Amino acid sequence: MKKSELNVAMIGYAFMGKAHSNAFLCANRFFDLPVKFNMTIICGRTEKNVRQVQKKWGWQQYSRDWKEVVRRNDIDVVDVATPNNIHVPIIIEAAKRGKHILCEKPLGISVAECKKAVEAVKKAKVHHMIWHNYRKAPALSLAKRLINEGRLGTIYHVRAVFLQDWIIDPKYPLVWRLKSEESGSGTHGDICVHLIDAARFLVGEMKEVTGMVETFIKERPLPDDPRKKGKVTVDDMSSFLCRFENDAVGVFEATRFAPGRKAHNKIEVNGSKGSLVWCSEDLNYLEFYSKDDPKHMRGFRKIMATEAVHPYLKGYWPPGHSISYEHTFINALVDFAHAFARGENPSPNLEDGLKNQIVLEAVLKSAQTKQWIQLS
């Protein structure tokens, strides 16, 4: 018998902790789902902060020790929203105890450890999901539908950028995202991975890549003692070219050094019959150009994906009432709940996390060797 209520333990309470708390709080309110999510326990390192977040978002209990949390018999789902280096250790311990897994991206810090995470969830036969939330924007899901319907014809190009500027000041401290031991890679695993996931979602698997990375600011002040500096051990930008298995080609660029750009996550796909453009900063809209339109009317149309026929929208508002970043996390949980009830895993899941990691690592290897790398 499948459970109809799932007790959730969330590890990590900060940026993603907030996005996930909101999703757990709202999913059953906006949608009639086959399972109910109970916000049972939240976990983080700093007692004062974790207690504050527990109260604010309505978690029933808090803990400071993720190992103790994943051992509890009353927990069904472990949600991982911590720095990247402890994703896989938490997944392995939790899966061993039969917990279903929700994990933030990137899945881990290396292909080798991501493989262990996938082995662990498969061996334990637990359900799993990776929070690649941008796939869950209705307009990007619509893009996938239009491609599947053949409206773009043969796909030739994918062009994707994720541009930010938050560390351009050399005085910005050496936070965990800038240290390879905690983060794996830098901009690459943090935001280029979203582009990789979106491209795989829309166009399919990649077969070869060649890339470059650069670290512009090599040392930064330590967070606890700004008079001292530490070494930045990850990339500040990454870019790469790829060829897809269907022979389409891709150009990708991610950076935290584009002044004025905050979270400019944009993907364009060109095919023999048309083009699509989606940007997270305008996430309700999909631009679509079709060569099937009469010649005198051709041009990009901007489709506002807020109708009930668009993915996920039935649960929210009447047409024209926009949704936003936080709803993409709710939508991910909606897919998880339905997949869980069917006895399946949602898409994307930890296997996608591994596939994304294989691309990430191949790009880094190519940047080092200055070679094209085949993805077998």
Ligand X SMILES: NC(=O)c1ccc[n+]([C@@H]2O[C@H](COP(=O)([O-])OP(=O)(O)OC[C@H]3O[C@@H](n4cnc5c(N)ncnc54)[C@H](O)[C@@H]3O)[C@@H](O)[C@H]2O)c1
- Please identify the residue of the shown chain whose CB is closest to the bound ligand X: 14
Residue 364 contacts residue 214 (beta carbons within 8 Å):
no
Task: Using DSSP bridges, classify how beta strands 285-290 and 274-279 pair: parallel, antiparallel or unpaired.
Answer: antiparallel
> C-alpha distances in angstroms, 41 versus 35, 77, 258, 335?
18, 10, 38, 22
- Near ligand X by CB under 6 A, which window of 43-51, 139-147, 196-204, 235-243? 43-51
Work out how close the CB of 157 gets to ligand X at its nearest, in angstroms, rounded to a whole number: 25
Name the DSSP letter for residue 190.
I
Contacts (CB under 6 A) with ligand X, residues 119-178? 131, 133
Is 263 one of the binding residues for ligand X (CB under 6 A)?
Answer: no
Is 375 one of the binding residues for ligand X (CB under 6 A)?
Answer: no
CA dist., res. 171 & res. 111, Å (int) = 32
Is 62 one of the binding residues for ligand X (CB under 6 A)?
Answer: no
Q: Nearer to ligand X by C-beta: 146 or 174?
A: 174
Can you read off the two tokens belonging to residue 7?
């007790």
The residue from 79, 190, 197, 235 that contacts ligand X (CB under 6 A) is 190
Q: Nearer to ligand X by C-beta: 19 or 155?
A: 19
CA dist., res. 46 & res. 63, Å (int) = 10
Name the DSSP letter for residue 308.
T
Is 271 one of the binding residues for ligand X (CB under 6 A)?
Answer: no
Q: Nearer to ligand X by C-beta: 87 or 100?
A: 87
CA dist., res. 245 & res. 375, Å (int) = 10
CA dist., res. 114 & res. 26, Å (int) = 30
- Near ligand X by CB under 6 A, which window of 37-45, 70-78, 158-166, 232-240? 37-45
Contacts (CB under 6 A) with ligand X, residues 210-229? none
CA dist., res. 242 & res. 361, Å (int) = 13
CA dist., res. 178 & res. 311, Å (int) = 36
Q: Nearer to ligand X by C-beta: 16 or 35?
A: 16
- Near ligand X by CB under 6 A, which window of 7-15, 149-157, 210-218, 352-360? 7-15
Phi and psi angles of residue 213, each rounded to the nearest 5 degrees, phi first: -135, 155
Residue 158 contacts residue 266 (beta carbons within 8 Å):
no
The residue from 7, 8, 9, 17 that contacts ligand X (CB under 6 A) is 17
- Near ligand X by CB under 6 A, which window of 13-21, 137-145, 235-243, 274-282? 13-21
Work out how close the CB of 9 gets to ligand X at its nearest, in angstroms, rounded to a whole number: 11
Is 84 one of the binding residues for ligand X (CB under 6 A)?
Answer: yes
Is 111 one of the binding residues for ligand X (CB under 6 A)?
Answer: no
CA dist., res. 205 & res. 196, Å (int) = 10
Q: Nearer to ligand X by C-beta: 134 or 240?
A: 134
Work out how close the CB of 62 gets to ligand X at its nearest, in angstroms, rounded to a whole number: 11
The residue from 6, 10, 11, 160 that contacts ligand X (CB under 6 A) is 11
Is 12 one of the binding residues for ligand X (CB under 6 A)?
Answer: yes
The residue from 83, 271, 346, 348 that contacts ligand X (CB under 6 A) is 83
Quickly list DSSP for 349-374.
-HHHHHHHHHHHHHHHHHHHHTS-EE
Question: Helices in the chain by DSSP H: which ranges?
Answer: 15-30, 47-57, 66-71, 87-96, 111-124, 138-148, 180-183, 187, 193-203, 325-342, 350-369
The residue from 26, 51, 72, 86 that contacts ligand X (CB under 6 A) is 86
Name the DSSP letter for residue 277.
E
Is 105 one of the binding residues for ligand X (CB under 6 A)?
Answer: yes
Can you read off the two tokens belonging to residue 179?
């240290």
Is 336 one of the binding residues for ligand X (CB under 6 A)?
Answer: no
Work out how close the CB of 332 gets to ligand X at its nearest, in angstroms, rounded to a whole number: 9
- Near ligand X by CB under 6 A, which window of 82-90, 153-161, 304-312, 345-353? 82-90
Residues making contact with ligand X (CB under 6 A): 11-17, 43-45, 66, 81-84, 86, 104-105, 131, 133, 190
